[in-house]
Structure 1
Amino acid sequence: MNLLPLPLAVFVVDASGAIASWNKACEKLAGHTAADIRRRRLEELIEFDDAREPPLTIAARSELDSSGYLRCADGRRLPVRVTIAPQSLDPEQAGTYSVIVIPRAGLVPPRYALIQDLPTADLIEGLPCVFYVIDQSGHLLLWNHQLEEALEMTSEELPTTNVQYFFEEKDRAEIVQKILDAFDKGSSSHEAEMIGKLGKRTTLLFHCARTNLGDLPCIFGTGLDITARKQTEQGLLIRERAIYSSVNAIVITCCQDGEHPIEYVNPAFEQMTGYTLAEIKGRDPHFMRIEGCDTIEHQRIHDALQNKQSVRSILRNARKNGEVFWNDLRIDPVINADGHVTHFVGVINDITEARHYERRLHHLAHHDPLTGLANRTLLQDQLKFAIDFAVRNDALGALAFLDLDNFKHINDNFGHDAGDVVLREIAHRLRASVRENDTVARVGGDEFVLVINNQAGDEQLADLIERIRLRVSAPINVAGREIVAGTSIGVSRFPHDGDTVDRVMRAADAAMYHAKSLGKNNCQFYSMELNQVVHQHLLLEASLSRAIGNHEMVLGYQPKVDLRTGKVVGAEALVRWHHPINGVVAPDQFIPVAEESGLIVPLGEWVILEACGALKALEALGIEDFVISVNLSARQLRQRQFASQLARTLAHAGVNPRNLELEVTESQLMDHPEEAMEALAELKALGVRLSIDDFGTGYSSLSYLQKFPVDFIKIDRSFLGDVAEHGHTVIARAIIALGHNLQMKVIAEGVETREQLAFLREHDCDQMQGYYFSPALSQASLEELLCRDARLPG
């Protein structure tokens, strides 16, 4: 062990340099006795290297680092470093100076004599803390190796540095005051962070007391390293602040003889529950329970606390004002150093809004937002339950599909707000028509479904369905206007018509489809005969899909004749199906199927391609001003990219757009007139011709009709009938006049008699088509007809 190897000889001198006192180390180092030193001057004992005339004053040397030689009693000249500092740190007690004399390197005695004289030297060196002795100048007289390690300085550096410079500048005034307090009051204590030469920082708890070394007043003390403790305290402060600032409520309870009294709650807990810490400190948290509620969760919490284990629970509690709230609670034990659980920490998250939102989402996921009825998801669950019950108990149940007949007309003519009122009223009437254990659902815009449980028999079920139909069909008052929404109802029975959800629903849907096909506003029950009809419908749909790809479709072309010249100026392309087994299938059989299934789109594309091919063939024969018209389906008209796709088709085929005419029915245009107007404008921009087919059979608005960019209107065949009857021709004459006034040409279709032809010519109709001139022809026959310039007789 090598405790401070340097002997510190300290003189106390006045401003003139006269020696007033010294320590025993002076005598040991220089060999002088007290009688030799007393009343001598400093320059007599120390020969300064920078000696000058006149000599420097003591005050001047206090600002210098000096070196020189100590004149020993035996005549030796000992090389030393000399540090001179005011005797007191207090500037108001100036007048005397401490002179610290330290032998220079290489001449240090093996052991510092002062330490050798202390019986506790080994003890001081072995202390688990910093030990130091400071004189009144603020310089170190004595220290142990722990101080050297903390300051990262050598033993030669330490005594020449005033102790206040071991600390941050902002702390130095307080450090000096604490040292002065120790000299003045006998002792002092303080915490401070000491800065090492290389930047090491050590937080120490200092305790110092006044003493004397010989005649030299000084203080000695210890500094206990509390760096780890301060870091722990800082961590605790941070965690305490985190708990205090947490948005989650936190409650801390202590364990006392099986009880768990509250020791602390944070502000979030106070805000969440309405209780302050002062009100509930010492109480068990279970005072917020709602008795009889969440008993299983309360038992889980009780068991976990008994077993000193963590637990998480979702349960309800009551706030101070009695309001019930849902909370997500997590409780964890706190274990001390001995392994014993001393406390429990509970973290509470208020999830009341989340629970309400979850319930709203669950309701929305299973109910229609407009009517509050069950939606398709809940319907299927309820239907499955009802079918299973009927199968197990040999009971009769029924599924009724209801489709409103006039709902689109209601929306278009009265507005969507009125439509919503109608739907809500229908929902109310349906709920009122069935029992509480039956299910009423809305599965589409105007489609409702009933699951009717446990019926006595078919007659009672039929009576109930008819009462429902009559109630739904009764007028509904909307803003002073009466609206009637008829309904078509299809009914299947379970388990008679099926024992699975899919079978029962398909049976009811087929029955409803049959009801609508019979004229709407009626009810049909599913039957084996009906099943055969549906089966044939499905087979037809499957065959139609295959037919388009297998080239079973052919086009016929019915000529259009100019009534003034008798010349054939165009033709309407009419699609026919040559079934390999069933022969020719009429258009009125497969076109509705194509419309419902969506196959009308690929079929329509095929018709346009065939028509373009026919136009190119006619062009090769020198016939260039001929127009072929193609019927356009509603699905095609609604396709967003139809116009651009048609442009590519015409360009690829090399067909002049003016040779292609697209026919759109009046009802198609009036379904969504604004959308139809936009679609027709895009088609018109391509250069194709446009015509309105079946004119007079729909509900045209003249304000819209004059805005549609069409070239022709076609008089439906139903308005030509018996032209001998004046009443049968009124509408035809009006359509011709209307078309001409709107700068459109008028075409009459279905012309079959000489009388009809004469009527049309008399009233200046532009074109005609029909069996009177020619039925639909094959492409070859059409080419032959045009090449020989066949005309309608005058």
Structure 2
Amino acid sequence: MNLSPLPLAVFVVDADGAIASWNKACEKLAGYTAADIRSKTLGEIVEFDFIGEPPLTIAARVEFDSTGQLCCADGRRLPVRITIAPQSLDPDQPGTFSVIVIPRAGLVPPRYALIQDLQTADIIEGLPCVFYVIDQSGHLLLWNHQLENALEMTSEELPTCDVQYFFDEKQRPEIVRKMLDAFEQGHSSHEAELIGKHGKRTSLLFHCARTSLGELPVIFGTGLDITARKQTEQGLRVRERAIYSSVNAIVITCCEHGKNAIEYVNPAFEQMTGYTLAEIKGRDPSFMRIEGCDVHEHQRIQEALRKKESVQVILRNARKNGEVFWNDLRIDPVSNIDGEVTHFVGVINDITEARHYERRLHHMAHHDPLTGLANRTLLQDELKFSIDFAVRNNVLGALAFLDLDNFKHINDNFGHDAGDAVLRATASRLKESVRDNDTVARVGGDEFVLVINNQPGNEQLADLIERIRQHVNAPITVAGRDILPSTSIGVSRFPHDGDTVDRVMRAADAAMYHAKAMGKNNCQFYSVELNQAVHQHLMLEASLSRAIGNHEMVLGYQPKVDLRTGKVVGAEALVRWNHPENGMVPPDEFIPVAEETGLIVPLGEWVIVEACGALKALDKLGVRDFVISVNLSARQLRQRQFAAGLARTLKRMEVDPRNLELEVTESQLMDQPEEAMEALAELKALGVRLSIDDFGTGYSSLSHLQKFPVDYIKIDRSFLGEVSHDGHAVITRAIIALGHSLKLKVIAEGVETLEQLTFLRAHECDQMQGYYFSPALSQHSLEELVCSDARLRD
């Protein structure tokens, strides 16, 4: 390489031109010694060209180039260009100036060589990059320590290595080609990754050029570490790919002069909106807004853009085809290196389906799926609003509870599809019967509720409720068959009967309960007397629940007598309630409550256990073939595990199943005959005896009666009132004859007179029970009666 000097002279002077320091080029260019320069001022060495009066000061010449002549030691006057700059960055020399003196064009060599005044080795070692010189054999001749660090090798190892082996095997052919290009074409550039001796990898940008050392052709070059740049580029590529592949729509805008112009949208945005980037580039994204829609959200966006802040909103936009869609939009500002916001990034999540689903969920949460009416949740909200309005404005409102009568009968006889059709038809009729500002709700299987607002008076309200009842009762045609529904309605008025949701609903429920008790298919309004009756019913219910756990229940045993021998052959277990305050409560007062509340199940279990205990006690006294009968409720009979539980009880109590008789009513059997038949078969398989109670009061068909696996039928006491009455006598004789023809034993209950007894014996009835022989006895009295062999008098 042919290096020639660059005569670049630099002085440091104060404001008056006194020279404080200089470089070697000053001495060489002007031919002065250090002692010469130290004794002179800038004005004595440099003569500025004349540009006017008065002459400019040093400070005045700052920041623009001047021309002049350098006064050399040998008397030559060398044309030069002078640049003056303040030395303000040097805290040790305040008020000083740098004066750079450069020979003007044509007076210096065309190729500058600045390193003549510097040590070349220091330059090479100080480079912030790899430096190398390679010969044509591919070996290193010269390098700096940065290369040694990158290759994790010592200076002794490097000369013997072929350069291509510093790279990955896949890159070596390309490396060789690039070196040949430099030798043949004079230069080359490429990116590659150096691999160190211990696996260290460094990405470098190489620039190399051809030259010669004497007669030896070589290439020399630099390698700039671009590892960080590569990582940044990779990160950018990953993020760019993420943006491109994102399922969320992304839009990037450039904010200039108060406007936000679209620069980029990803494919998800194009797919979501129908607009391509080519169509909308340069436009403001607000072109998709729907005028008059979500105004508050748009105001929030504009305010955030003005303040250059982040914002998140939910609003509606229009697709290219005009379709409206819901956006969950997040906008964030992007700042440049100076902290100035230059762009905004918007991320759009299409939540249209989620929004619709949310609305469907809200509707489902507040409406009945079968009828579309309001459910209990929405009803309470609407009722509260109506009560508050009535209280504030002193107007009359009403709450009506409607319960379809015998709806179970409709389901059982016509099918559940028909039952659903009746419910939908009822819902439609109720909506037709009231105004739009009234509320119709379904709160149970066959229970409906009306909130009726702003009524003129009680008479008009009563007329409206009656019209609604008649409308509901009209025939409903399902699959070509007419179904005649009926409904019991209970009505409370607000604020007359209550000023809270709970009070008004309890009042209407009490009124509806009373309508049921009055024979169904009628309407009852709430009253104070009705409230007292309901309160007594609730108190009875609460007391009954405690009574079972407090052992207030007792069993009486009414003997059964064989009419041929007069011998006591069994007994019916009859439950009584010995109330601590009210004394003995008869069954007809608490059994319906137990049935209604479900307490009949634990009560029935207790009766069976007590009866088994009585049988076990009789067995210890030597009484073997004695049968105690227990009444089964409909709930017990429908229990799936009832037979299995009974089997466990019999085994635990060590009772022969043949000594236990279970009584079911005729109406229980005919309610769901197929299920009843299956349940009776399971019980019969245990070995217990079965009887049909209250026979003759239901609607048994002979075909069903033949299939039921029963042992006894019991004649209801109503047919023995006066056996002299032809009607009663005929029915009783028919029942006895029917039972015997089916090979069943017949038991008459409620026998109270000799005349009844004589009639039963004359027609060969098998057994009887009743006050004529004995009332219900305690277990101890029953044991004494049986052990004494007491018999029925002739």
Give CA-to-partner distance per residue, 1:413-456, whole Å, 9 cap, x none: 00000111111111111111111111111111111111111111
**CA distance in 2 between partners of 1:633 and 1:372 (Å):** 36
Tell me, what secondary structure is at the counterpart of 1:169? coil
Task: Quote the residue 1:622 is aligned against.
Answer: 622
Task: Quote the residue 1:319 is aligned against.
Answer: 319
Task: Quote the residue 2:125 is aligned against.
Answer: 125
* Aligned-pair CA distance for 1:710: 3.0
**CA distance in 2 between partners of 1:119 and 1:495 (Å):** 105
* Aligned-pair CA distance for 1:117: 13
Task: Quote the residue 1:486 is aligned against.
Answer: 486
* Aligned-pair CA distance for 1:762: 5.1
* Aligned-pair CA distance for 1:674: 4.7
Task: Quote the residue 1:233 is aligned against.
Answer: 233
What is the TM-score when the length of structure 2 is the normalising length? 0.82
Task: Quote the residue 1:522 is aligned against.
Answer: 522
**CA distance in 2 between partners of 1:735 and 1:688 (Å):** 23
* Aligned-pair CA distance for 1:792: 3.5
**Mapped pair 1:303 → 2:315:** no
1:203-242 alignment to 2 at 5 Å?
203-242=203-242
**CA distance in 2 between partners of 1:174 and 1:288 (Å):** 52
**CA distance in 2 between partners of 1:704 and 1:274 (Å):** 71
Task: Quote the residue 2:257 is aligned against.
Answer: 257
**CA distance in 2 between partners of 1:332 and 1:702 (Å):** 84
Task: Quote the residue 2:145 is aligned against.
Answer: 145
**CA distance in 2 between partners of 1:451 and 1:731 (Å):** 51
* Aligned-pair CA distance for 1:550: 4.0
* Aligned-pair CA distance for 1:474: 1.2
Letter in 1 for 2:573: A
Tell me, what secondary structure is at the counterpart of 2:623? coil
Letter in 2 for 1:121: A
**CA distance in 1 between partners of 2:441 and 2:589 (Å):** 33
Aligned CA distance change for structure 1 residues 578 and 292 (closer, same or farther; 3 Å): same
Letter in 1 for 2:322: G
**Alignment length (residue pairs):** 680
* Aligned-pair CA distance for 1:197: 0.9
Task: Quote the residue 1:157 is aligned against.
Answer: 157
* Aligned-pair CA distance for 1:653: 2.7
Aligned CA distance change for structure 1 residues 702 and 134 (closer, same or farther; 3 Å): farther
Tell me, what secondary structure is at the counterpart of 1:293? coil
Give CA-to-partner distance per residue, 1:131-177, whole Å, 9 cap, x none: 11111111111111111111111111111111111111111111111
Tell me, what secondary structure is at the counterpart of 1:290? coil
Task: Quote the residue 1:383 is aligned against.
Answer: 383
Tell me, what secondary structure is at the counterpart of 2:368? coil
**Mapped pair 1:440 → 2:445:** no
1:500-649 alignment to 2 at 5 Å?
500-649=500-649
Give CA-to-partner distance per residue, 1:680-731, whole Å, 9 cap, x none: 3443343322222223333446555444443323232334444445543555
**CA distance in 2 between partners of 1:765 and 1:349 (Å):** 85
**CA distance in 2 between partners of 1:703 and 1:135 (Å):** 117
Deviates more, 1:186-195 or 1:549-558: 549-558
**CA distance in 2 between partners of 1:703 and 1:334 (Å):** 87
**CA distance in 2 between partners of 1:729 and 1:217 (Å):** 142
Task: Quote the residue 1:361 is aligned against.
Answer: 361
Tell me, what secondary structure is at the counterpart of 1:332? strand
* Aligned-pair CA distance for 1:227: 0.8
Task: Quote the residue 1:344 is aligned against.
Answer: 344
Letter in 2 for 1:201: R
Letter in 1 for 2:184: D
* Aligned-pair CA distance for 1:123: 1.3
Aligned CA distance change for structure 1 residues 660 and 135 (closer, same or farther; 3 Å): same
Task: Quote the residue 1:420 is aligned against.
Answer: 420
* Aligned-pair CA distance for 1:325: 0.5
* Aligned-pair CA distance for 1:787: 2.1
* Aligned-pair CA distance for 1:747: 2.5
Task: Quote the residue 1:459 is aligned against.
Answer: 459
Tell me, what secondary structure is at the counterpart of 1:623? coil
Aligned CA distance change for structure 1 residues 729 and 237 (closer, same or farther; 3 Å): farther
Tell me, what secondary structure is at the counterpart of 2:259? coil
* Aligned-pair CA distance for 1:274: 0.6
**CA distance in 1 between partners of 2:553 and 2:400 (Å):** 38
Q: Structure 2: any 5+ residue segments left out of the alignment? A: 1-114
**CA distance in 1 between partners of 2:685 and 2:614 (Å):** 23
**Mapped pair 1:694 → 2:694:** yes
Aligned CA distance change for structure 1 residues 593 and 175 (closer, same or farther; 3 Å): same
**CA distance in 2 between partners of 1:159 and 1:743 (Å):** 122
* Aligned-pair CA distance for 1:490: 0.8
Aligned CA distance change for structure 1 residues 483 and 218 (closer, same or farther; 3 Å): same
Aligned CA distance change for structure 1 residues 682 and 524 (closer, same or farther; 3 Å): same
1:271-290 alignment to 2 at 5 Å?
271-290=271-290
Aligned CA distance change for structure 1 residues 739 and 356 (closer, same or farther; 3 Å): farther
**CA distance in 2 between partners of 1:196 and 1:463 (Å):** 100
Aligned CA distance change for structure 1 residues 161 and 643 (closer, same or farther; 3 Å): same
1:161-172 alignment to 2 at 5 Å?
161-172=161-172
**CA distance in 1 between partners of 2:703 and 2:359 (Å):** 49
Letter in 1 for 2:493: R
**CA distance in 2 between partners of 1:748 and 1:589 (Å):** 24
Letter in 2 for 1:304: A
What is the TM-score when the length of structure 1 is the normalising length? 0.82
* Aligned-pair CA distance for 1:199: 0.8
Let me know the Cα RMSD of the aligned residues.
2.2
Deviates more, 1:136-145 or 1:547-556: 547-556
Letter in 2 for 1:594: A
Tell me, what secondary structure is at the counterpart of 2:172? helix
* Aligned-pair CA distance for 1:755: 5.0
**CA distance in 2 between partners of 1:118 and 1:539 (Å):** 112
**Mapped pair 1:407 → 2:400:** no
1:25-40 alignment to 2 at 5 Å?
none
Tell me, what secondary structure is at the counterpart of 1:261? strand
**CA distance in 1 between partners of 2:417 and 2:382 (Å):** 30
Task: Quote the residue 1:179 is aligned against.
Answer: 179
Deviates more, 1:721-730 or 1:651-660: 721-730
Give CA-to-partner distance per residue, 1:337-393, whole Å, 9 cap, x none: 111111111111111011111111111111111111111111111111111111111
Task: Quote the residue 1:786 is aligned against.
Answer: 786
* Aligned-pair CA distance for 1:502: 1.1
**CA distance in 1 between partners of 2:771 and 2:683 (Å):** 31
Letter in 2 for 1:431: K
Letter in 2 for 1:286: S
**CA distance in 1 between partners of 2:631 and 2:220 (Å):** 113
**Mapped pair 1:664 → 2:668:** no
Give CA-to-partner distance per residue, 1:102-135, whole Å, 9 cap, x none: xxxxxxxxxxxxx999963321221111111111
Task: Quote the residue 1:773 is aligned against.
Answer: 773
Task: Quote the residue 1:69 is aligned against.
Answer: none
Aligned CA distance change for structure 1 residues 117 and 743 (closer, same or farther; 3 Å): farther
Task: Quote the residue 1:16 is aligned against.
Answer: none
Give CA-to-partner distance per residue, 1:551-580, whole Å, 9 cap, x none: 433222122223343322111111122334
**CA distance in 1 between partners of 2:163 and 2:701 (Å):** 104
Give CA-to-partner distance per residue, 1:502-535, whole Å, 9 cap, x none: 1111111111111111111111111111112112
**CA distance in 2 between partners of 1:236 and 1:387 (Å):** 63
Give CA-to-partner distance per residue, 1:589-628, whole Å, 9 cap, x none: 1111222233323322332232122212212221111011
Letter in 2 for 1:507: A
Quote the sequence identity (%).
85
**CA distance in 1 between partners of 2:752 and 2:157 (Å):** 129
Q: Structure 1: any 5+ residue segments left out of the alignment? A: 1-114
* Aligned-pair CA distance for 1:757: 4.1
